């Protein structure tokens, strides 16, 4: 730590976002723990601005405030010390009052209420049992939605694929075994081929040829994993991945498979008494962002607006941005949908509460594991409480993450099986 960084006076971390339209580029500067209100900038600028193609998730670099129009949040007006990305995208630099005044006195600077502090952002209802009523109220505010009495009628989502319905019924049958699972999967030849190819992936390193679903179950993955993998793969056909999603999140299935693989690795590394059911953890990873697909299907005009806001506010948890804009989050709608389709509660609760570190109810372990996956994949700190809860320390978790990185090409091969490449 430098002398500047160790000073007694703390520095406020700020984010810089480059925005543009056909007229040119501007920049916005606001506290890092706040959400940029692009609507407020639009009202002042009379321009429809969006992030540049080269935007940086944590922060863009500071541009010359005498040459580039700069919108600065009012809360920074009298700040004495702050840290921002000045010349290097890899680090924030602390600057003092004299330099701040020079920057903020630029001829093209405009101050205003351009951001909303995190503490003032709306949140989801705490209990998932209130989600249906909450989401119906939220959807009632959209002119494109024809509100009906029941949420499933209002959403107008396509039916669950027949193969998924059969596997869900099998999940509920305590007497089901390998023969029944093989029979159900084999009724969908493309699904059977995906499962066999998945088990044959170099990621699992199984010796010899995997020639059938039965081989995949007995020799490589096991009954529980194959059942939940097949369910995840078949459900992936229910909703299309929207084409106009956030650009820093451009491969839905790559992240899904990465989450699932990390969940699998964590379960195997955890102390036995803490382990959730492997198949449930894997499927929760595979479907953790399923709600984003649902938002894209239910609210296509608003999904584009949401995507641009998620780009601008990529430093914040997605649920904060989604609830502020839509009054519902992907975790809410995704978990509700999976619950409606009668998936196990462990998967639904795990996904629903994955952004809520205070949750300690049923299936909290899967929720916390999903949160840790997010932290690992986004290179964010993992709290000691999370490490204690899942029984893995920072060193062990980093080792699992490194194993995933070392297998990145094999993970991409698995993703190609879903995409049909």
| HSE (side-chain half, CA atoms, 13 Å) at 402 | 6
Check if the beta carbon of residue 223 is closer than 8 Å to that of residue 178. yes
- Give the burial class of 283: count Cβ atoms within 10 A of its Cβ; 0-12 exposed, 13-18 middle, 19 or more buried: buried
The string of pLDDT tens digits covering residues 359-395 is 998 889 999 999 999 999 999 999 999 999 999 999 9
Topology of domain 128-158+239-419 in CATH is Hypothetical protein af1432 (1.10.3210)
> Rounded to 5 degrees, what are φ and ψ at 81?
-155, 135
Closest CA to 368 of 272, 224, 270: 270
CATH tag, 12-120: 3.90.960.10
Q: pLDDT, tens digit, for every residue of 168-186? A: 888 888 888 899 999 999 9
Nearest to 69 by CA among 101, 30, 106: 106
12-120 and 128-158+239-419 have identical folds: no
Q: Where are the domains of the chain?
A: 12-120, 128-158+239-419
**Tens place of pLDDT per residue across the chain (421 aa):** 344 444 445 679 999 999 999 999 999 999 999 999 999 999 999 999 999 988 888 899 999 999 999 999 999 998 999 999 998 888 999 999 999 999 999 899 999 999 999 999 999 999 999 998 999 888 888 867 776 767 887 887 778 888 899 998 888 888 888 999 999 999 888 899 989 998 898 988 888 888 899 999 998 999 999 999 999 888 888 888 888 888 887 789 999 999 999 999 999 999 999 999 999 999 999 999 999 999 998 888 889 999 999 999 999 999 999 999 999 999 999 999 999 988 999 999 999 999 999 999 888 999 999 999 999 999 999 999 999 999 999 999 999 999 999 999 999 988 888 876 5
pTM across the whole model: 0.89
Res 1: pLDDT: 37
């Amino acid at each position: 730590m430098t002398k500047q960084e160790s000073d007694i006076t703390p520095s406020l971390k700020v984010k810089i976002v480059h925005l543009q339209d056909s007229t040119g580029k501007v920049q916005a500067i606001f506290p890092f723990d706040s959400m940029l209100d692009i609507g407020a900038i639009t009202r002042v600028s009379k321009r429809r601005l969006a992030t540049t193609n080269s935007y940086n998730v944590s922060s863009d670099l500071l541009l010359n405030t005498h040459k580039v129009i700069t919108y600065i949040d009012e809360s920074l007006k009298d700040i004495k010390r702050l840290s921002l990305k000045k010349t290097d995208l890899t680090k924030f630099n602390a600057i003092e009052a004299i330099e701040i005044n020079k920057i903020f006195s630029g001829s093209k600077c405009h101050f205003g209420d351009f951001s909303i502090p995190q503490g003032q952002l709306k949140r989801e209802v705490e209990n998932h049992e209130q989600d249906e009523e909450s989401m119906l109220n939220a959807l009632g505010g959209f002119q494109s939605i024809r509100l009906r009495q029941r949420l499933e009628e209002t959403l107008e989502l396509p039916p669950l694929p027949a193969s998924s319905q059969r596997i869900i019924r099998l999940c509920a049958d305590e007497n089901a075994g390998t023969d029944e699972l093989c029979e159900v999967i084999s009724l969908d030849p493309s699904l059977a081929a995906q499962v066999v190819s998945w088990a044959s992936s170099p990621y699992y390193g199984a010796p010899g040829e995997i020639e059938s679903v039965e081989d995949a179950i007995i020799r490589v993955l096991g009954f529980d994993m194959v059942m939940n993998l097949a369910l995840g793969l078949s459900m992936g056909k229910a909703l299309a991945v929207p084409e106009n999603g956030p650009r820093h999140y451009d491969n839905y299935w790559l992240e899904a498979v990465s989450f699932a693989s990390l969940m699998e690795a964590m379960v195997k590394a955890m102390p036995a008494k803490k382990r959730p059911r492997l198949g449930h953890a894997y499927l929760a990873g595979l479907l953790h962002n399923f709600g984003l697909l649902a938002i894209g299907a239910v609210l296509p005009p608003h999904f584009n607006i949401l995507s641009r806001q998620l780009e601008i506010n990529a430093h914040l948890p997605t649920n904060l941005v989604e609830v502020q804009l839509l009054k519902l989050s992907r975790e809410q709608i995704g978990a509700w949908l999976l619950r409606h389709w009668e998936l196990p509660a462990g998967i639904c609760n795990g996904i629903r509460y994955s952004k809520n570190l205070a949750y300690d109810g049923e299936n909290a372990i899967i929720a916390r594991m999903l949160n840790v996956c997010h932290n690992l994949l986004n290179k964010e700190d993992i709290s000691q409480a999370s490490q204690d809860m899942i029984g893995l320390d920072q060193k062990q978790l980093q080792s699992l993450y490194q194993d995933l990185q070392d297998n990145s090409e094999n993970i991409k091969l698995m993703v190609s099986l879903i995409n049909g490449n």
